[in-house]
Structure 1
Amino acid sequence: MRVTKSRSFAKAWSYRVFGTLTSFIVVYIITGQAILATAIAFWETVLKIGVYYWHERIWDKVQWGRK
């Protein structure tokens, strides 16, 4: 069974949305401040996209586990 690029993109998008919502909810529960929760969720998303990109680029150079 072949997985399409659009399916992979949809899964990545939904995963990121749920992660961002989780961050928002946790910060809001702890602080009670919707503006702070929104700011943290936004920056968390931006930073994690960058971290994921570099993580993938580094792993692309690792030969371990490839055949």
Structure 2
Amino acid sequence: MKEKRYRTLLKTVSWRITGTIDTFVISYLITGHIGLAASISGVEVFTKMFLYYWHERLWNVIKYGKEKPKPPEYYI
């Protein structure tokens, strides 16, 4: 089955929110500065959304590891 573009976009946004919170926390723990952690998170949120979206779209085209849905069996 192919995935619709809007589904990929929603997955991109939800994953990026999770990832950005993670980046913010790690950046804060390393630097100890909320402003610097926010700056790092602010930049990476856009770059990683772009990369993730196109990564998902590319994998949607690759047939490796996908199975065709089997047609339903009808009994007479």
What TM-score comes out, normalization by structure 2 length?
0.60
C-alpha displacement of 1:24: 0.8
Higher RCO, 1 vs 2 (CA within 8 Å, ≥6 residues apart): 2
C-alpha displacement of 1:16: 3.0
Give yes or no for the alignment of 1:52 onto 2:52: yes
- Once the two structures are superposed, residues 4-63 of structure 1 have per-residue CA deviations (whole angstroms, 9 ceiling, x without a partner) of x8xxx4x76554323212211111111112111001111111111111111012112211
Unmatched runs of 5 consecutive residues or more in structure 2? 1-5, 69-76
Percent identity between matched residues is: 41
Aligned length: 60
Which protein is richer in helix relative to its size?
1
- Structure of higher CA gyration radius: 2
